[in-house]
Amino acid sequence: MQKIISYPISIIYYLLFGFWLVLFHPIQWICLNLFGYNAHRWSVAVLNFFLVRSTHVLGTTYDVRGIENVPDNKPLIIVSNHQSLYDIPPFIWFLRKCHPKFISKKELGKGIPSVSFNLRHGGSALIDRKDPKQALPEIKRIGEYINQNNYSVVIFPEGTRSKTGVPKPFSVNGLKMLYKFAPDAYFLPVTINNSWKMTRFGQFPLGLGNRLEFIIHKPLKITDYSFDEIFEKTENVIKENIK
């Protein structure tokens, strides 16, 4: 029954989703080219506010816990499990004070209004997962970038989304590069629950009435741990809180 009801509601949602992406594409361009980095950053944050709120049409609600655990004015490596595309706007909106950047596959860097522009011009890293010679220098660059500017980078070490909520093994390569080239940073583990239910039927229709949970755990300062220690602690606390 939910699937049948969801067809017309999903159409309304996608119309809203597309409207915001198209509207904010020129807004981003104007903010970046006329007013600079901070204006562009805020245009992206406001876009993602509207993207988050648009999901209320689907009956989606959000429970974001642990905001008080986010260090102020420190470089952060935000490490999270990954369940759907609906993981991303909440990071950009609810953690906007951290200047979140992303490590994303290079295919997303073109063809998507607003999204591709932000990935190309907002400081994120676009990588080719099949080409380490391209990917690793990009991850090094963004590690140095957040370290110098006290920004944050979001990384999903599972690599691909878990379509059932069951976590996949974490890859060490990207995290190891960030650990090495952002030595002043903190690892900030985040657990996401129920995001996969948004796409339980695929991209259309979408799931209805889901409560997405984001649990921000206590930060781990890189200088206090070896890489193996911080990797294990981060993976364990994320996965222990997946429902």
Residue 2: which pLDDT band, with cuts at 50, 70 and 90? confident
Q: For 98-125, how does the pLDDT look when each residue is reduced to its tens digit (9 = 90+)? A: 999 999 988 888 899 999 999 999 999 9
| Lowest pLDDT segment from 79-83, 157-161, 167-171, 195-199 | 157-161
Structure tokens at 87: 């993981």
Total domains present in the chain: 1
Nearest alpha carbon to residue 69 among 102, 95, 41, 100: 95
- The secondary structure element, H or E, covering residue 41 is helix 37-54
Q: Tell me the whole-structure pTM to 2 decimals.
A: 0.93
Please, what is the angle between helix 227-240 and helix 173-181, to 10°? 120
Q: For 180-230, how does the pLDDT look when each residue is reduced to its tens digit (9 = 90+)? A: 999 999 999 999 999 999 999 989 999 999 999 999 999 999 999 999 999
**Any idea how long the chain is?**
243
The per-residue b/e assignment along 132-148, b for 16 or more CB within 10 angstroms, e otherwise, is: eeebeebbbebbbbbbe
CATH of the domain at 64: 3.40.1130
Q: Which domain holds residue 72?
A: 2-240
